[in-house]
Amino acid sequence: MAAGVLIAALTAAYVPDPTRTIPLLFLALFALQAAATAVVIPETAHPHKGALAAMRPRLAVPPTARRALAISAPPVVAVWALGGLYSSLGPRLPSLIAPHSGALTGNLVFLAFTTTAACTVAACHGRPAGTVMLWACSLLIAGVALTTLSLQLSSLAGVIAGTCLAGAGFGAIMHGALSLLLSGVDAGERAGIVATYYTIGYFSLSVPTIESVFSRSRVVDAS
């Protein structure tokens, strides 16, 4: 996601007619990927009945993972909701402080969020999940508080710093929650748990994003 944000920002800033060029570029990349997959990767599966039924999502939480889900669900909901707000409104935050800042400056916010999240996931590898979750919640609270305060003080550097702290909390909670959920679970039960985790996460992310769009529309109409 971090690489995609950076590439998209650079493309939108420097490529002519980006609203047409970017979709055409994606179409070309997808076509090239499909062709390469068909030629390079041989098909190993044999057609059989039940293929469509196998694609139906299945959510499952075995009894051994229910306590871990109850513990990790609140921070997972909170951090994915925050990710939705940063992805939808984050690029607008610099314009609240510096109205004439360019598109690249606006994308620094979500780039900082995703980059620090990715680095934190790597840094948390091998550490106790419970400790990671406690630190993650602290980072998340500090990041949101610093971002809010920096907006009041019109400090772009403070907004970026707060975003980095929030991104670190996001990455740590992702790593800690999945570690808690998958600890001591049989291999055959992991797919259902991961599906449950991402269903909760993306639902939590999408609701604030959609609401922010409607809220912005109501503000624009009122003005």
Six-digit token string for 176: 């800690």
Per-residue model confidence (pLDDT) at position 103: 66
The model's pLDDT over 171-204, given as tens digits with 9 standing for 90+, comes to 999 999 999 898 888 888 888 899 999 999 999 9
DSSP 186: -
The structure's pTM equals 0.77
The model's pLDDT over 70-125, given as tens digits with 9 standing for 90+, comes to 989 999 999 999 888 888 777 777 777 777 766 677 778 888 899 999 999 999 88
Per-residue model confidence (pLDDT) at position 50: 77
Distances from the Cα of 192 to the Cαs of 3, 17, 104, 188, in angstroms?
A: 29, 43, 39, 8
